[in-house]
Structure formats: C-alpha cells, structure tokens
Chain A
Amino acid sequence: MKSIILKEKTLLLLGLFFLNTLIASDYHPANRLNTQDLFTNNYNPQNSWNYFKNEHAFKNVFLVFAGPYPTSPSSTFGHLFLLLEPVQSNDKPMLLWDSINFSANVQGINSFVKYYKGIFGGLVGYYQIMPFYEKLREYTFIESRPIWIFPLILDTIEKDLLLYYLYQEYYEKYNYIFHKTNCASKIESLINKSINKNITENPFITSPRLVIMNLNERLMTPYFIDSVENTLKSKKSNKIIKFDSEFSSENKNIPIKSEASILLKILEWKYFQRNTLLNNDEQKLLEELRLMASESETSNNIELVKQKKLFRIHAPVKYGIGTQSGIHNDHEIGFQFRLGLHEFSDNYDVYPKYDFITLMKVSMAIRKEHIILNELWLFDQLSLNPNNVISSYVSWRFGLGLVRIADGKNEYLSKGMYLGIGKTISPINEKTSFSFLINLNTIIEEKNDYSMYFVPELTTLLFINKILKMNLAISSSQDILRNSQIKTFFKTNIVFDLNSEYQLDFNSIGSSIGISFHLYLLKYFN
C-alpha cells in the first residue's frame, strides 16, 4: 500500500515536472515578437516577401560552425549558423554579410529556469539576421572560439528556396530545446527543405556535428578563423609577456609605435575578458594606442579568411576493449564505454584542449567468469583553463561516480563526489601545461562509512604532436575525517591515435602498495 502511494506521488511530481513542457510547446506565429509589428506597420504585408528577397538575396551560402563552448550548455557542442554572400558582394564586405542565426531568447530568465526550460522546453527560439561581424566578435573575440566556414553547394533554385523558407519561418517563434530544437536542427531543416531532402527528425538529439556529417556531400573544405586569443598567443607571445610586465595601465610606460597595434589587440582582449568598467588610465591608454596604431603600418591585423583547414571532429561516443592488471589480480579483459563532449584522450582539432566533459563512462572487466564494475561516472568535468600570461581562470573539477579501489588486501567501490579547484599554467606553449589542483573527494566506502579525502595533485599535460599525448600526475591522499596515513600516487596516461577512429590508451597508477595498469584499444562510434 505504502509503495502504491509513493508511486502515485512520484507520478504526480513527474507530471507536474513535465507539465511546463506541454504548456510551453504551443507557440503560435501570431505571438512573434515586435518584428511582426515592425513589418505590418512599416511595410505592406503583400510586398513583404519582395522586401525580404531584395534585402537578403544572396549568391553563395556558407554553413558556419563555431567551436564548442563548455561554459554554456546550449553551446557546449558548438553552434551553427548560415552566412549569406550577397548578390552585390563587391559593395558589401564580408563583415556585413547576413548571418542567419537561430537561438533562444534568455533575457530576464535566471540560470535555473534557463537550464530547466532548455532541457524540458519553454524557451522561446527564433531566427535573427545580423551582420557577420557581430557573430565573429561574439565567438572569436569574446568567447575565444574558432570558427569554420563551409561553402554549401546549392544550385540556383535551391538558393531561392532557402531564402523563401527562411522568410516563411523568420516570423515565427519556436519552443527551443537544447538537445533537439536548436541552432543545428533548425538550420538543417531549412537546408533539407531547400534541397528537397526528407529527413526524419531525430527525436533525441541534434548536434552541430551530426548536421555537418549529414550534409557532408554538400559541404566543401571549410575556411578557418581562429579565436583572437589563439591568434594573439601564436603571433607574439614574447610581446605579450613584455606587455604584462611593462605596459599595464598602472605604470605609465608608453609603448613604441611599432608595438602599438599588437598591444592594442592584447589590451582590448584582456579588458573584455575581465568585464569590468575601464578606469580613466586604461581608457586613455587604449585611445592613445589607437592613434599610434593608425599611423604605423602593421602586419598584425587579424586576417578574416585566408586559410582552409581540414575539419576533424570526434564523435561523442567511444568504446573499447583492453587488458588490465590490478594489484590483486592477473590480467583481465576489460571493456569501456564513454559518452561525453571531450576528454584528454580525444583528438583536439575542434574541441578545446583543456576542457573535458564526460556525461557517462563505464569500465568493466571479466574476472573469474564474473563481470565486475571498475568505474562508473555519471558526470565528470575537468576544466583546466591554463593560466598563461594573457589569460587567467580557475581550474576546477566536478565529478559524480564510483571507482574500484584496491587497499591493502581489500577491494571496494568508492562512490561519491569529486571536487577540485586550482590553477593551470602554460609557460612554454599551449601544448604543455602544469596544473595544481586541491581536490576534496567526499565518498562512501565500505560499510557506508563517509570519508573525505584531501588530495593535492600536480598534473602535467603534454600534447606532443597530433597523434601522441601524455598525462603525468602525482598526488597524495589523506582521509581528513579519520586523519589517516598519507598515500602517494603516481599516474601516467599515454594516448596514441592510430587514425581518426582508433586509439591506443595506456594508463597506470602506482602507489606504495603496488602498480596497476591498463591498455585499451578505443574506437569512436560514428
């Protein structure tokens, strides 16, 4: 009886939880923001298609992918929008071309409601047309995300249809859902309608990566624009160091003319990352640099589009088989499955090198005709954010999961929450980093006893080349609730990319009680 009541309560709660989704899913075009009024007030509705066509007619169209942005859930897997090269492109530089963007309106909505509605429905999604420079600034300057610009192959009729379908949808609003009705799905649907391709909508997830794969035959090799941050780093790291030490607004050194342009770019970028009002000295320094930069010829202007770059983005799912040896056991056959945005072992052509997000990871092994669980992560994020001379963020980790631990003669599953905070530096180049994290792991061990482990950890990540990377770590661990003995661990992880689909992953953990290791062959699930 008790369980029936509980069940009913649970169902009621679940019903209430999803009620919002049902209510929110009915958006009628008549409610479309003020743009509707604008058009009906200022233009004859019968001519509005002609107006739209004249304003936005294009000769070429590009599919633009902005790199993943783990800070925002709606952009975690990247962002897609269209870029239209106008018919009269000689009169309109690329920065002013129309970008066709689909996004959610989150103004006036707090974080919790945004995430809730983003997952279950209720955010208002709509198209926007804005000049390309605004999108470029948003992604490459503010959010430090590179972008790839794929020429999209459409014939004349398909181009006309694309514009027409855009016109039809432009004045409507939609129920935006992070994983389903998002920038990628709406842009894909527009293109598919234009090329008369019937695609059954994926009921679960549509990501920018999937759309790019689906449209692969229509896409040419993309142009690449790196983030301002990366461009600055690669251009003049020595100048940046000099800038930090000599040209801050506090000391009044005035830079020489030839350095004005690069210092202007660095300074502006730094101030925007800080996001606080400039003081008078800072404002004056910027103004002075602008005048100096305008007078001296420079090669420091950031090129918009010049290079083409192969686009290689890994799948979110990876699985593998391997051999592992524990402290108490001989070789075992192990299996691994992982779903997530990106982890250290993945290739990093598109994803940030130092942001790792796992949504689920399972590792199992066969032992004496039984299958045992070695590792299970429900969520694990490690954001290292290297602190070099021009960027400084906190490194952190949050993980929920369980891990099999060998302790003396015993083995047990340690379940709990793993928190860490610290700093990362990249003093040599972006391919080498040193992190120091202080972890506090609250876990339940055997017999449901709580433990809290204090774990300072020093980690080095080495991205040796495109196919080989290495992670070396040393940590100590002490249960601070029981004041237990300190244990020291050495960890090594070496990953070798065999090709774009297969990897060899070697992992070892050594401590005073022994050493364990595993060697896995991993494959992406495309």
Chain B
Amino acid sequence: MFKAMLSVIGLFLLTSCATITKGSTQLITINCNVTGAHVFIDGVEIGVTPFVGEIKKNQEMLTIEMDGYQNYSVALSKNLEGMFWGNIITGGTIGSMTDFSSGAAYAYAPASYHVELIGLDTGYDEFEKQLKLKKFAMINISNIALDLSNKDGQYLNSLFSLAGIENNDASAQMVLDNLNQAKGNQIVFANLMCENL
C-alpha cells in the first residue's frame, strides 16, 4: 500500500515538474558587435557569431574570442533556466554592472543575447558610451517606436541623452529614419544609432 502511495505521489510530482522542466537544452542566439567571433561553452568551441543553436542548460562558462579584441567570459549557472536566464533576461548586464573593462553581455529579447567585445586599442570611455547607447536602443526599441509616434516620451528623450544629441524634431526624424532603415530590427537599429552619430 505504501509503495502504491509513493508511486502515486511520484507520478503526481513528475506531472507537476513536467510543466516546469522543458528539456536539458535551450535554443538561443548570441550576437556580437564582431561578426565571426568564436563562441566557446566550457572551453569547447560551438560556433561563431552570430550564433544560433542549442546549448545544454548545465553548462557553466560562455567565452567569446576574436583577434584584436579582449576575450570576454561570463559565468553561466548550472541551472540556466532558473538563474542564468532569470538574471540575464532582465536586460541587465551580466556580471558586475559597472565593470565593462573586458566587454559586456545582455539579453535584448527572449533567449537572445548580445555580447559587446572591446577592441585592444579602443578607449574605455568610448566603449562605455557606445555600449550604453546600443544597449538602451536594443532593449527599448519598441518603447522608442511608440514614443516616435508622438515625437516625445521618456524613452525617446533618454535615447537623445545617451546619444548626446539635441531633443528636437530633427533628432526625432533621425531616429525614425534609423528605425525605418533597420526595418524594425533591434540589432540593426542599435548599430545604426551608434554609426550615425
């Protein structure tokens, strides 16, 4: 009787967990400011950027390498779904929020991550400025699009501020042009915002 009871409990718990666990791998995309950078998981190369593929959830270290750039590594969690994805998905920069000295990574969409490598000859201030602008543009593109419709709003004004441009109709038009040129794609839009300054 006791065994029967345990079986039923086990079955019940298994059913409960089935709604939470979605397998041992997850499909992700890793973009980078440098095309063709090497992507390593736990020291094993799995591809180059832009990378789209499945990775195991119990893996620990993501490293991006490219000649002429500092290597960038970030610790993943053993429990990717609960921790790593949970943390990174906020759009927050992984790792120390203030230390971008070797690069930075952040989530800009579900299971989509952007890694910004720092060139060996790039100044830190310049890198930090670009990173802040690009990250804001990539993460908040939809809110910026909504603000553009009214030519005003907190998100649009913040973008102006990060880009160091005046808050006026010409700036709004420039942002709108970038959005149209990017066809609404957040990565292209963020890059254009940095390039067209």
Among B9, B13, B184, the residue within 8 A (CB) of A286 is: B184
A272-323, CB < 8 A from B = 272, 274-278, 283, 286-291, 293-298, 300-302, 304
A35→B93 CA distance, assembly (Å): 14
Interface check B122, CB cutoff 8 A: no
Which of A150-158, A160-168, A208-216, A260-268 lies at the binding interface?
Answer: A260-268
A124→B27 CA distance, assembly (Å): 30
A91 x B161 contact (CB < 8 A): yes
- The chain A residue sitting closest to B155, CB to CB, is A95
B142 x A290 contact (CB < 8 A): yes
A109 x B77 contact (CB < 8 A): yes
A109→B145 CA distance, assembly (Å): 38
B90 x A294 contact (CB < 8 A): no
A35 x B98 contact (CB < 8 A): yes
Chain B residue contacts of A302, Cβ below 8 A = 143
Which of A134-142, A189-197, A511-519 lies at the binding interface?
Answer: A134-142
B27, B155, B184: residue with the most chain A Cβ atoms closer than 10 Å: B184
Chain A nearest CB from B154 CB (Å) reads 5
Which of A125-133, A178-186, A402-410 lies at the binding interface?
Answer: A125-133
A291→B16 CA distance, assembly (Å): 41
B101 x A291 contact (CB < 8 A): no
Interface check A238, CB cutoff 8 A: no
A95→B183 CA distance, assembly (Å): 25
B140-170, CB < 8 A from A = 140-143, 145-150, 153-155, 157-158, 161-162
A490-504 to B contact mask, C-beta < 8 Å, 1/0:
000000000000000
Chain A residue contacts of B139, Cβ below 8 A = 133, 137
Chain B residue contacts of A34, Cβ below 8 A = 95-96, 99, 101
Chain B nearest CB from A38 CB (Å) reads 5
A108 x B76 contact (CB < 8 A): yes
Contacts known (A294-B176, A296-B149, A419-B12); A41 close to B101, Cβ less than 8 A? yes
Interface check A96, CB cutoff 8 A: yes
Contacts known (A291-B183, A291-B184, A481-B5); A297 close to B150, Cβ less than 8 A? yes
A100-139 to B contact mask, C-beta < 8 Å, 1/0:
0000001111110010000000000000111101100110
Chain A residue contacts of B97, Cβ below 8 A = 128-130
A109 x B110 contact (CB < 8 A): no
B89 x A272 contact (CB < 8 A): yes
Chain B residue contacts of A304, Cβ below 8 A = 154
B109 x A442 contact (CB < 8 A): no
Chain A residue contacts of B60, Cβ below 8 A = 108
A138 x B110 contact (CB < 8 A): no
Which of B33-41, B63-71, B80-88 lies at the binding interface?
Answer: B80-88
Interface check A242, CB cutoff 8 A: no
- The chain B residue sitting closest to A143, CB to CB, is B90
Chain A residue contacts of B5, Cβ below 8 A = 442, 450, 452, 481
Interface check A29, CB cutoff 8 A: no
A244→B147 CA distance, assembly (Å): 25
Give residues in B with beta carbon < 8 Å to A. 1-2, 4-5, 8-9, 12-13, 15-16, 19, 26-29, 52, 60, 74-79, 81-85, 87, 89-99, 101, 109-112, 124, 132, 136, 139-143, 145-150, 153-155, 157-158, 161-162, 176, 179-180, 183-185
Known pairs A94-B154, A291-B184 / 11 extra A-B pairs, C-beta < 8 Å: A33-B96, A35-B99, A107-B76, A130-B92, A137-B91, A138-B91, A142-B91, A261-B149, A291-B183, A300-B146, A452-B9
The 4 closest A-B pairs by CB, nearest first: A287-B184, A290-B184, A138-B90, A294-B148
Of the A-B pairs whose beta carbons lie under 8 Å apart in the complex, a sample of 24, sorted by A's number, is A35-B98, A41-B101, A42-B124, A94-B154, A95-B158, A96-B162, A107-B74, A111-B83, A130-B97, A131-B136, A133-B158, A138-B90, A276-B27, A277-B27, A289-B142, A290-B184, A291-B184, A293-B145, A297-B149, A300-B146, A301-B143, A394-B19, A419-B13, A450-B5
